[in-house]
Amino acid sequence: MSFSAQEKLRRFYDQFSSDDHVLVVINVDPDSIASAMAVKRLLWRKVASVDISNINIIERPDNLAMIRLLGVNLTHISKIDSAGFNRFVMVDSQPEHNDAFSGINPDVIIDHHPETGAQASFMDIRPQYGAAASILTEYLRAAKIKPSSKLATGLFFAIKTDTNNFVRQTSFEDVRAFQFLFRYANVHLTRKIEQTEMRFDFLKYFKIALENMRRRKDRVYVHLGPVVSPDLCVLIADFFMRVNSVKWSIISGSCGEKLIIVFRNDGVCRNAGDVAKKSFGAIGLAGGHKSMARAEISIADLNGIVNFEDDEKLLKWIIGKIEKKVVSQ
């Protein structure tokens, strides 16, 4: 059954009461930051308190700049006493997306990724949307809330980022939300956030990528080895997609106890989410959208499958899993 924006907002508000202490839990990126900001504004003066907690370590300069310039207060989940909260909200994610969400039973889930079978008292999952920020913008409009400049800038930047300036999966609703937010957003602040996406110590990974890439027709594969953040795989994957002859960019790296594999394509080829799931879903978490996807595999689960210590063999194994099954035309 399809509900109007006003009915969805009413059902959202029905989950809360004035004495609730709410924790919004996110895996930090521009879309989740902005969506959490919107939830906090929607619940202003309607609940006792709203706090935002991140499950990941924030290292990407653009995320750090966004948090600083928009004045977002975040507390890492390791420093949170969950007993102090009685309502939990998850935006731009679902519990199955990351092991760090384990132990959190959200009362509300608002997301634009494909459904994973998650359960909550209130769920608004719209895979056809390019950004969760677009969904939250609809909530703000239904509540007749004029967003502050900082909130509008965050939501505006989130839609811009998650749709890659509307060349990735996008709906008419994303465009409508973007147009609405443009009235209130500070585009100069947006540009300042965009221009801080690189750190000097990240440059060595581009050198590794250029020296070790493997090409299979219009596909580029790279294994970076140990990385300080999974976001580096994303940066390198997006970098190779700027090359005019590249239709697929598949970048892997190890971070902590996991192998991270990031997929990007031109949106014309086969579905990246399906490629990730079919290739690695049996041994780890994998999925995503048509033009962008990700797989995360525990290093312990690779024992007996591939020699993780041998970067060359590991990359060959990754290429074999993908080429043989789904990418090869």
Check if the beta carbon of residue 141 is closer than 8 Å to that of residue 155.
no
Name the least confident of 21-30, 129-138, 258-267: 258-267
- For the record, the structure tokens of 295 come out as 């797989």
- For the record, the structure tokens of 86 come out as 């009685």
Name the least confident of 145-154, 184-193, 288-297: 288-297
224-255 confidence digits (pLDDT tens)? 999 988 888 988 999 999 898 999 999 999 98
CATH of the domain at 129: 3.90.1640.10
Check if the beta carbon of residue 5 is closer than 8 Å to that of residue 138.
yes
Q: Are residues 45 and 187 in the same domain?
A: yes
pLDDT score, position 269 = 66
Q: Is 75 helix (H, G, I), strand (E, B) or coil?
A: strand
- For the record, the structure tokens of 248 come out as 């697929």
**Per-residue pLDDT for 123 more than 60?**
yes
Q: Are residues 93 and 174 in the same domain?
A: yes
Q: Are residues 205 and 187 in the same domain?
A: no
Question: Pick from 142, 173, 194: which residue ends a domain?
Answer: 194
257-291 confidence digits (pLDDT tens)? 899 999 998 877 678 888 999 999 899 889 888 88
pLDDT score, position 169 = 66
**Averaging pLDDT over each range in 96-100, 151-155, 188-192, 310-314, which range is the top one?**
151-155
**Per-residue pLDDT for 1 more than 70?**
no
Please measure the distance between the N-terminal and C-terminal CA atoms of the chain and give it in whole angstroms.
38
pLDDT score, position 266 = 84
- For the record, the structure tokens of 247 come out as 């239709």
Q: Which residues pair with 125 in a beta bridge?
A: 111
176 or 217: which carries more pLDDT confidence? Answer: 176
C-alpha radius of gyration, the chain, whole number: 20
User: What is the domain count for the chain?
Assistant: 2
**Per-residue pLDDT for 329 more than 50?**
no
d(C-alpha 290, C-alpha 67), whole Å? 29
132 or 96: which carries more pLDDT confidence? Answer: 132
The mean pLDDT of the chain is 91
Hunting for tokens 């598949």 — which residue is that? Answer: 250
Query: Which strands form 49-54's sheet, in the order they lie side by side?
Result: 75-76, 49-54, 21-26, 87-91, 108-111, 122-125
Q: Are residues 65 and 102 in the same domain?
A: yes
Q: Are residues 135 and 208 in the same domain?
A: no
What average pLDDT does this structure show over 187-198? 83
d(C-alpha 44, C-alpha 48), whole Å? 9
Q: Are residues 85 and 123 in the same domain?
A: yes
**Per-residue pLDDT for 44 more than 80?**
yes
Domain that holds residue 105: 5-194
Question: Pick from 173, 194, 215: which residue ends a domain?
Answer: 194
Q: What single string gives the DSSP state of each residue in 102-144? A: TT---SEEEE-SPP-S---SEEEE-TTSS-HHHHHHHHHHHTT
Check if the beta carbon of residue 90 is closer than 8 Å to that of residue 96.
no
